[in-house]
Each structure stands twice: as C-alpha cells, then as structure tokens.
Amino acid sequence: MGALSADWVLLEDGWAPGLLIEHESGTITDIRPGRAAEHIEGAVLPGMTNLHSHAFQRSFAGRTEFAGGGGDFWSWREAMYRAAGTITPETAAPVAAYVAMLGLLGGFTSLVEFHYLQNAPDGRPYANRAAMADAIVEGARQAGVGLTLLFGVYQTGDFDGAPLRGGQIRFDTGPDAALRMLAEARAQEGPALRFGLSPHSLRAVPPDSLRALVAGAGAGAPIHMHLSEQVAEVAACQSARGAPPVAWLLDNAPVSPDWCLIHCTHASAAERAGIARSGAVVGLCPSTEGNLGDGIFGLPDFVAAGGVFGLGTDSHVSLDAFGELRLLEYSQRLRTQKRNVLAGADRHSGATLWQAACAGGARAAGRDVGALRVGARADLVVIGPRLESEAMGPDFWLDAAIFAQSSPVAHHVMAGGQWKVRDGRHLQQESITKAYREALKVLG
C-alpha cells in the first residue's frame, strides 16, 4: 500500500485542501483528510488520457515543415505512407516507448493507440498476426503508461471501394482478422491494459465490414473512427453515400458512449448535435489538426448540447496535455472572438478544460481513469504554484500551467500507483531515449 497527501487535490466536484490519497495495486483505495509521510507541496490533478495516437508517426515529426514537404493534408499523407513503410516490430517498440514517455512528461498517464499499421512492409501479415500490436504493448509497458489498443480495419482506398495502393497496402486488414486479434488479446486485459477496435474511416471501411465489426465487438468494446477531418473527405462521402460522414454514420451504425469519433472538424451543427445525443466522445487533436491545417471543430455549441470531448496527440508533433488544452481554447477564442470560451461564469478555464478532457478521455479509453476517486487507477499529475499566482490558490496555478507555461509543467507524474516522472524527468528517460535514437537510425 502507498499513500501521499497534497496541499490541494482536484476531485470530481472541485478542489479540496489537505487530502490523503491511499492506493494499492495501482488503484485508489481511500481519499480522506490527512497528511502522509510523502506530502506534495502543490496541487494534484487526475492523470489525462491521450485518446488518439499513431505512435509510428512520431518518427517523422518535424520532417515535413518546408515547401517540398507538401502544402496540404494529402501531400503530408504521402510522407506518412513512406514512414509507415519502414517500421517493424523491432523498431515499433522503442518508438512506442518514447511516445509514451513524452506523454507522461506532459501529463498523459493513459494512451489510446489507433493501430492500423499491422502488416509487414510488403503487405503480408506477420506469422504472429499481432506482432506490431505486441510491440506497442511492450513500449507502453516499458514507459509505464496505461494503454487501450484498438485493432484497425482498413480495406479500401476511397468511398467508391477503390483498392488499396502504394503505402496503403501495408494497412490491409479486414473485420475477421481484427476480431480474431481482439478475441485473443482480451486474455491480457487488466486495469492497465484494454483492447478495442478502430475502423479507420468511412473511406477505408465498406458498410458491410463496419456492420460485421460492430456486431462482433460485443457490448462495451471501445470503437474509434476518423471522421470529417478534411473538406475533400466530406465532399467525397456526400457524393458517394448521399450524406456527409458524421450524418451517414449516425444513420447507419449504433453509435453510443462506447464510440469515439476522431476530429469531426467539418461536422455541421446538426451533426454535432447528433453526436452529443449519441453520447459518443469527440476526439480532438489540436496540435495535429493545426499542423495539418484541418480546421477548427465547433466546440462551444457541442458542449452546450451535452457533448463530451477528449484530447489526442495523433501524429505527436506535441505530447503535452497542458499545451494541447491551450491550443484547444485559443483556437475557440480565435473562432468566436471571445475569451474563456468553455468556462462557466463561476469557473476557471483551466479546471473546466482539464476535467472535461479527463472525463472524455476516460470514456474513450474504456478504463477507470481520469478522476481521483476510490476505485479508479492511481494516475495523477503534480503541478506547483507559479510565482505570479503563488498566493492565489490552485485554480490560478492550473490556469497558469496551461496558459502561462514554464518548463517542466508537470513536476511529478504517477501512473498505476508508481511514480514515473519525478522533478520533470522520466525515471527511464535515458534508456528509452537511447533505444529510440537507435531505432531512428534504422528507420532513416
């Protein structure tokens, strides 16, 4: 059994002073007033879930920021295909560990891997069909992050059923294979590890395959899907299926709180209201959506309608939960020309954003995380007061951590009851970084 106490703790109903948190086997067993031998002079937040990851894409982050790197999403996608063509299970594990480590340093204690890079570079399945998935699981284990891994389905190159081509061939996986891998992987599940499914997108998964996948998943399985990220995608879906992607999905699939719809950047107001009614989480990835020029999701009306959202880092140009929330709020300020867009009249933006994204991320991960309460995983993030707001209390400390950053933001990070980051440094930072550097030499 372990125990710690803190000056301030962010509970589901707000800040509370002077609480003691006990945990055993990675789970919170008690929260009560008191002081432990290990006392945190600062504020304790629930750990954040990174609900959308393609770990391999970190390996080429920063390599397309020039004119020859392409001018839109579709040219960037070709660069992504080239990177995907080189990675193997041997290099995937250190890449995944590095991504998970950076996430922990940035306050992400859980990760959801949207995993569609499943075959060998020549497109053939590995003898162990789940070899690439196993590498992701191993990387997460090395870094110490909680993981939900989603087995991908990717069969067609566009809405018209065009065959896969070029770099897409490596992704070729149908619903039968994905469901078999899911069934076999479930024997590994526990508090720190969960599995689900990720039909890549409507252009990559035919309607019959989507129906088979959903029917085979079983109740409660996390299901994630990319939707309406690009204007051209919306137009192509409208032309091929008579409706834009979000509207088509809501009309043709049993979308529920088990679902997470990634991006939805160009969803209409009616589509956003439909998502809110379904209970599905919208997965927003501010740094990647900004990097790719996707656009800005209409968040205020979605939240006002009861919509749930969470944070992902997608291509991993950034892995900082505080920075993602800053980008999220600032993009909405630019869109609406207002400030403190999501906070109510009596709330601070920092706590509002952190708690909302934690709740949505936990739902998307399908794990008991994202809140400091008895029975939840002992995942927490420690921040300290900023000089400018030191005497003003934890709401101002969290606001400053998001909107007036200094480095490192997260002083300490615990995942599953074990400290993974102390004084802004991951406890395996040297070895994980070394292995990642060696992997990059192989990947080129």
State the pLDDT confidence band at 346, using cuts at 50, 70 and 90.
confident
Strand partners, 2: 23
How many degrees, rounded to 5, is the angle at CA 219 between CA 215 and CA 225? 65
CA distances from 290 to 286, 287, 318, 371 (A): 6, 5, 11, 28
Query: Which pLDDT does position 76 carry in this prediction?
Result: 82
Which among 95, 112, 210, 116 is positioned nearest to 164, based on CA atoms? Answer: 116
Catalytic one of 314, 379, 395, 399: 314
CA distances from 3 to 38, 127, 370, 437 (A): 7, 45, 19, 36
| Alpha-carbon torsion angle 373, 282, 290, 58, nearest 10 | 70
In this predicted structure, the answer to whether residue 399 has a pLDDT above a threshold of 70 is yes
The reported pTM is 0.96
Query: Which pLDDT does position 78 carry in this prediction?
Result: 86
Catalytic one of 52, 115, 263, 412: 263
In this predicted structure, the answer to whether residue 202 has a pLDDT above a threshold of 90 is yes
Class in CATH terms, 48-365: alpha beta
Domain coordinates of the chain in residue numbers?
A: 2-46+371-430, 48-365
Judge contact between 7 and 411, C-beta under 8 A. no
Percentage of the chain exceeding pLDDT 70: 98
pLDDT tens-digit readout, 28-40: 999 999 999 999 9
pLDDT tens-digit readout, 214-235: 999 988 999 999 999 999 999 9
Query: What is the Cα–Cα distance from 291 to 153, expressed in whole angstroms?
Result: 25
Query: Which pLDDT does position 354 carry in this prediction?
Result: 98
Residue predicted with more confidence, 65 or 314 = 314
State the pLDDT confidence band at 344, using cuts at 50, 70 and 90.
confident
Strand partners, 50: 111, 311
What value does the mean pLDDT take over residues 11-40? Answer: 97
Percentage of the chain exceeding pLDDT 90: 88
Highest average pLDDT, of 20-24, 40-44, 120-124, 158-162, comes from 20-24
Query: Which pLDDT does position 70 carry in this prediction?
Result: 63
pLDDT tens-digit readout, 69-120: 567 888 888 888 888 889 999 999 999 999 999 999 999 999 999 999 999 9
Q: CATH for 2-46+371-430? A: 2.30.40.10
Calculate the average pLDDT of the chain. Answer: 95
Instruction: Look up 314 and say whether it is catalytic.
Output: yes
pLDDT tens-digit readout, 244-258: 999 999 999 999 999
What value does the mean pLDDT take over residues 317-341? Answer: 96
What value does the mean pLDDT take over residues 405-410? Answer: 83
In this predicted structure, the answer to whether residue 68 has a pLDDT above a threshold of 70 is no
